[in-house]
Chain A
């Protein structure tokens, strides 16, 4: 399975989640190879999948955008990363990965199980992956803020 074949359903799922839950319209840019261009973020929601494809899918945000997303989801102003923001970003990762699963089943009969989401915090943190595996990311723009969908997936065993 080519990772590029999996990317589009994830991209469409990100756009659908942001449109439906947040009334935001993120603009997707061209996918990048993460091993050639390291990505940093302040908060990452990551979720493991296992099945026809196996690996992780992550949504990665700068601090300000994560707070804006949590504010929209909770209906209250949030200015600092706290447990509510962490929970919101975990839920975004969950919805994006679940939504992509629905599209992948329809398009390619690819299915997987989702793990419980994990949230990683730290200013400008990076993610590390095993060597020899392809990791791709799609940058998205909302107003002047950028966030990333990052996927590291291979054929299931």
Chain B
């Protein structure tokens, strides 16, 4: 019988072979909505080093991503908008030169991850053409318009937050807590999901992330 459910966030991360020093992690969430806070805290407790984090923001306050940054586990961040209210930890590490930052336009970030999950190594987009974010990048003209080549993004592990999950790993999401989570679920060697509620069965038409994209899941307090 397929059963992807684990008992605790600590157990799910401890038994994930992809979580090692130097790993790249996709982390879901936009602002504070849909951030896998409990998984991030569990990863922090593993004491890993030299992680790369791909996420829209760079953590606010001292929860979740900020806690992982504070622990010194992260040396590189790929994101679209690190400058958020309360993203103090990241700002300090960046100012101190202890973390490198790659800024990616938000739609390009989402599409690079989508491409990574769909087996597409690169694509062309007009976004950022002629701007500092496209400097040194391969460009090409199609039908009179200029495009920048962007490479796909994949990761060793995706940490995502969902509303409900079942033993097959089928997931649903709450309102805008969906954001990057379903896209990131497709683009990692191991996708770990924290859900607010485990359910026996998910009505098929309501499933947003089919279980094929989910390696393991755990219920966390909402």
Do A and B truly interact?
Answer: no
Which B residues are closer than 8 A to A by beta carbons? none
